Every structure is written in C-alpha cells, then in structure tokens.
Amino acid sequence: MRAGIALLIAFTWALPARGDEVAEKYDALYDAIMVRDTSFYPGYTDDPVAPLVWKSSRFLIEGESRDRFAEAIDGFVSLSDEELARLTDFKRAIMQRHLWAVFDIPFDRGSNPSGAESEQEKENQLDLQRKIAVLLKRLALPESRIAALPDPVAATSAEKIYPVVPTSEDPFLPFFPAELSETNGPWVCVSRLYHLLSADMHSEDRQWRSVFHIFIKLPGGLKETLQYLKELGEFKSHWITEAPDKRMQMLTMTVQKTLERVDVYVNPETPQFPTGTQFALVERALLISDSGKVVTSPLINGVQLRAYLRMDTEYDPDRPHQALAEFVMQPRAMMDGTLALRAIETDEKNFRSLVVSSDPFEKNRAAKQGRGARLRTCMTCHSGWGIHSVLSRSQLFGPKTLEPPTFTEGDIESDVYHTVRFKNQDYSWGFLQGLWQAQDAP
C-alpha cells in the first residue's frame, strides 16, 4: 500500500500542469451544475447537495446554461481513467451524485418528460445524457470504498459545539443531539406499516437517490420511546364523529366525504409524547457502485430536527410549540477537510420547497421575492399539535379506507431496501442501464 501511494504521489508530481487541468475541469463541471445566475442573485447557490432545478426549469436544457454545461462535460469526459483516479473518493462520489441528479431531470417533468420543445433540443439532451451515463460509470467506486467515505454526522457530533437540546427562547437557534450518530443509542428509527417509505414526499423529491430515515427520541430515553410507540400502536379510537372545539379542529385533521358520508375527525385523545420529545429526518446519499448497483453510503446530505417545547393547544406566537434546526453537508468544505455539517442560520433564506414546481430563477422579478426563511418553511406542513404534526403518521389517514394509523419501531435496513427498490423500478434507472448496455455492446 505504501509503495502504491508513493508511486501515485510521484506520478502526480511529475505532471503538475495536467494535474491542475484535472482540478480545473472538475470545478468547471461542478459549477456548471450547481451555480445559478440571475440579475438579482449572480453566482447563486444555496443547496450544495443537489442542483437548483425545478420541474419547469429550462436550466441545463437551453441557452447559456446548456452551452456551459455541454462544454464542461466534454472537457471532463476527455479526462483519462488515470486522471480521474487522482480525484479523491469523496470528490468522485459528489460529482457522481450531481451528474445523476442532472441525468434524472427529464424524468421529473410530468406531461413533457424531456422538457425539450423541439426535436433538436431532444437530440441535444439525449447526447448529454449519453455522456453523463459514461461518466456515472467511470466515477463509480467499489462498495468497500463507498463504505469508507466520511460520515458528516459523526464529525458534527465529535465537534460538540452545539447544545444537544434547545436552550434558548429562540426556536431557530441550532442544536444537535450527539447521540444521533450512535448505533445503539436512544434514538429509534420509525416506520409506517401501510407505506414502504417513511418520508415518501422527501424521497420522491430526490427521485429516490437518497434514503430518508425518521428517528424519534423521548426525553426519558430508549425505554420511554419504545413504550410510547407501543401505546400509540395499540390505540384504536382513531376517529370521532363530533367536531372538537374550534382550536382543536384546526390543530388536528378532518377527513370529509368518507364511504359513510360523514365527517370524521382525528381523536384529540390520541396518545401524546411529552414535552422535550425530538424528531430527526436524516437524508443519506445513495451512490452507484462499480458493479452497477444502487448502494447506500455514509454520506449524510442533511439532518432536520424538531423538538417540542410545549404540548398545550393554545396558540401563542410568542411561545412556539417547536424548536427547529437543520444541518446540511458542505461538499466544498469537505473537499478541504472540514467534515462536519453546517448549521442553517436562524434567518437564512433559500428557494427550496417540496410544494413548489416552478423555477424562481426563471420568473424575472418574481425571483427577488422567491426565497423563504428555510427553517420556518418546515412549519408550513408540520404546524399541528404534537403527534398530529408528524405527517409520516397523519398521512396514513385515508378518506376512503379509514385504515388505522400505524407508526412503529422500524429499521434502517428497511428504509434502504425499499428506497433502492423504488429507484430500481423507476424509468430513469432503466433508461440509464439501457445506455450502459448500448455502450458496452460490440
């Protein structure tokens, strides 16, 4: 191993100019994918783990952005396998992730899957996808090296610079539970019996290139957490037919026009967790191995945290029910050796939203007002009372079946298995495999 490392160092030193060219071509392609330019926000990027692209985007399909991307990918394709080998495993993995996202963009466009408006556009797009397919395979790592990639959660926990629970009246100051990185710690992974993916909206938003795990921790630790999940699972009086008081009606959820043609309401007596309960949504990156398989990795794209500060139902803007924190991977910093996740600042703004499908960068002046406070947008969907704010459970309430909600102890392996299964069944993956087979054909 030492001889091999010495040989690689000597080889790299012998070709300094070409080595710089490898870095330059990497950076050119990285920036072509990840940087958006507008008159309001020149050189803008606020989500380092995925391209800023929406279903309506013309980005990378037409105009200057497409030309810049085409030039950058041609330059990167021209690198030899020996030159690609000079890149660290982390840089290879991140570039594969970004290119994979670009490859999948046409398959997330609804009625116009290609996003192209002319036959020439379609041909140009297919040409780029062929080149991306080649690079995805060339950048692929063996599973053993994927498993050895850095774990940003462990690095963040090791820093110990954030409180493990909210300690301020400000509900948006960062906190980070160090035990989240422990294999046998107090955090319990949860799943839904009637849904294969615990956070299906998030999974679909990433087109199943990431695994989303949901964890819960009650203040009493593992035993109390497991006991609460047991009580929740055994509770059978899910519905009431008489409306709760007005405040409770707003905080719970109503299902109208069921098979019985009556209005039903979530029972406010549903077992609640205590003040101090925390939830974590963890996004783990999937990669494509050198054997062509979709596999999980230690790379954590982000962690979203919610801690419940009080459990009463009274609305008081000066006394929030929840504290929120979010941490995101910072790939550029990780390339330079900073492995920890970055905390989202209290009033930090971005364009990301699960419910937005139009590209704010292509709305001219609308983009100026298009950003929202990143942490506060979580409350758009999770503003309910206690357990009723946990959509991974409440979305089980079906207006037709009235199936009982099941929110139980799950396991990480199941999340991975079902996410990979969804990706393997997606048309985008079949199309990618078809391009690989065509490439390998004599």
Does 410 have pLDDT greater than 60? yes
Domain ranges of the chain: 2-139, 149-422
Q: What percent of the chain has pLDDT over 70?
A: 74
Helices 16-34, 89-104: inter-axial angle, 10-degree rounding: 40
- CA–CA distance, 262 with 96 (Å, rounded to integer): 51
Long-range contacts from 128-133, C-beta under 8 angstroms, 24+ separation:
128/69, 128/70, 128/73, 129/103, 129/431, 129/435, 130/435, 130/439, 131/73, 131/74, 131/77, 132/73, 132/99, 132/100, 132/102, 132/103, 133/103, 133/432, 133/435, 133/436, 133/439
- Count of C-beta atoms within a 10 Å radius of residue 164: 15
What is the pLDDT averaged over residues 228-252? 71
180 pLDDT tier (thresholds 50, 70, 90): confident
Helices 412-425, 427-440: inter-axial angle, 10-degree rounding: 70
- CA–CA distance, 32 with 95 (Å, rounded to integer): 12
The closest alpha carbon to 90, from 299, 295, 284, belongs to: 299
- CA–CA distance, 46 with 166 (Å, rounded to integer): 25
Q: What's the pLDDT at 401?
A: 46
Does 134 have pLDDT greater than 50? yes
Q: What is the DSSP letter of 195?
A: B
Q: What's the pLDDT at 91?
A: 96
- Count of C-beta atoms within a 10 Å radius of residue 410: 19
Q: Which position has the higher pLDDT, 363 or 331?
A: 331
Does 421 have pLDDT greater than 70? yes
Q: Which position has the higher pLDDT, 156 or 116?
A: 156
Amino acid at 368: K
Q: Which residues pair with 283 in a beta bridge?
A: 212, 302
Query: Residues near 76 by Cβ (< 8 Å), separated by ≥ 6?
Result: 25, 26, 28, 29, 135
Q: What is the dihedral of CA 430, 410, 157, 27, to 10 degrees?
A: 10
Q: What is the pLDDT of residues 370-407, one digit of tens each?
A: 555 666 666 566 666 678 777 666 554 444 445 555 67
Long-range contacts from 339-343, C-beta under 8 angstroms, 24+ separation:
339/150, 339/151, 339/152, 339/155, 340/152, 340/155, 340/156, 340/158, 340/159, 341/152, 341/153, 341/155, 341/156, 341/300, 341/302, 341/303, 343/162, 343/174, 343/176
Contact, 333 vs 351, CB < 8 A? no
Contact, 156 vs 327, CB < 8 A? yes
Q: Any idea which of 117-121, 183-187, 230-234, 407-411 has the lowest mean pLDDT?
A: 117-121
* pTM (predicted TM-score): 0.84
Q: Any idea which of 89-98, 300-309, 363-372 has the lowest mean pLDDT?
A: 363-372
